[in-house]
Structure 1
Amino acid sequence: MNQALIIIDYSYDFVADDGKLTAGKPAQDVEENMVNAINEFVDKKAPIFFMMDIHKENDPHHPETKLFPPHNIEGSAGRDLYGKVGERFEEIKSLDNVFFIDKTRYSSFAGTNLDLLLRERNIDTVVLGGVVTDICVLHTAIGAYNLGYHIQVLENCVASFNPDGHTVALDHMKNSLAAEII
């Protein structure tokens, strides 16, 4: 099993108390676990992908413009990796196995080169952490499933602003996508 860690949208706007679309305390509560997962993958010299939502302010063509308040705006501090995860990224970003990739849709696979980078490295298993469990994490898991990857979700590294949605998403990933919830 060749694994890669994918950290999804762990940004200021999604995690901080005053973030534009924050999951708040549940997202803040997984911070240490995320750092531990990052450290584990650094130690294994396995690939780590930081997938980050990016938007243009008031983009009339993006479907999220009608659904959510403006968030993760290009050039804003809201896109910065949050807290200790951001600090750890700054320490490891020059490593050959660490990537930061912008994404414009919920799935980390939609419109990015993530699949190509994973296949170049013979990755067959994606390990997911980040926010929001029932939106971008779930859609990334669906994308991984459709591309034939084995999926592991670090339950102590995902969070949502919707507790019911979080639970339903974990259940869906386990029972419909054969994801291991670990």
Structure 2
Amino acid sequence: MSSHQALLIIDYTNDFVADKGALTCGKPGQEIESSIYDLAEKMYQNNDWIWFPTDVHKKNDPYHPESKLFPTHNVRNTWGRELYGSIKTWFEKYNDGEQVKLFDKTRYSAFAGTDLDLRLRERNVDTLHLVGVCTDICVLHTAIDAYNLNYKIVVHENGVASFNQPGHEWALDHFKNCLGAQVV
């Protein structure tokens, strides 16, 4: 059985990236757009999986732990939850619900409460490429779960960003030194 790779483009939405986003990392998030686009294009041509685990919330949800930590963001069917910039255009061009697809997540990790692990194993995926935002929150928590599930992890440094630069730097170090990830 041959092994396969998947690219996870994590939370690359208007609310997390656009200037007017509810929880934006702003310029650092905007500066990684072309790197994400180029990597998605390359991996698509290579017949790899390109999936978009995308945060979704209800407005003023009293039961979600993030409601106490962050302003309301990524509410379903809002501009804020739409993919950002050229990544939205790329997704609309290639989205087939299989090789390229977007799926909901409601926690930091793309694995928490989703069938991501099952879907990856069905496709013999053993290596995950991670890009998106925020490096030290959703990308980090996804990487930790991937590590605990024995995936090989590749974090693309020019494809991740955060609104917290010290947190971003710490997470890059943590990927390498605690999760054995390849940071490229």
Same fold, TM-score > 0.5, yes or no: yes
Q: TM-score range by the shorter chain?
A: over 0.9
SS of the aligned residue for 2:118 comes to: helix
Match of 1:115 among 107, 114, 117: 117
| Distance in 2 separating the partners of 1:3 and 1:42 | 11
User: How large is the RMSD of aligned CA atoms in angstroms?
Assistant: 0.8
Partner amino acid, structure 1, of 2:13: S
| Distance in 2 separating the partners of 1:67 and 1:89 | 30
Match of 1:53 among 30, 55, 63: 55
Match of 2:154 among 152, 155, 165: 152
Match of 1:173 in 2: 175
Deviation of 1:148 after TM superposition, in Å, equals 0.7
Q: TM-score, normalised by structure 1?
A: 0.98
| Distance in 2 separating the partners of 1:46 and 1:146 | 22
Partner amino acid, structure 2, of 1:162: N
- Answer with 20-29 or 89-98: which moved more: 89-98
Match of 2:39 in 1: 37
Match of 1:85 in 2: 87
SS of the aligned residue for 1:124 comes to: strand
SS of the aligned residue for 2:125 comes to: coil
Match of 1:4 in 2: 6
Q: TM-score, normalised by structure 2?
A: 0.97
| Distance in 1 separating the partners of 2:176 and 2:4 | 20
- Alignment length, in residue pairs? 182
SS of the aligned residue for 2:101 comes to: strand
| Distance in 2 separating the partners of 1:96 and 1:103 | 17
Percent of aligned positions with the same letter in both sequences?
56
Deviation of 1:95 after TM superposition, in Å, equals 6.3
Q: 1:42 to 1:95 in 2, by over 3 A?
A: farther
Residues 63-86 of structure 1, C-alpha deviations (whole Å, 9 max, x = no match): 000000000011211000000000
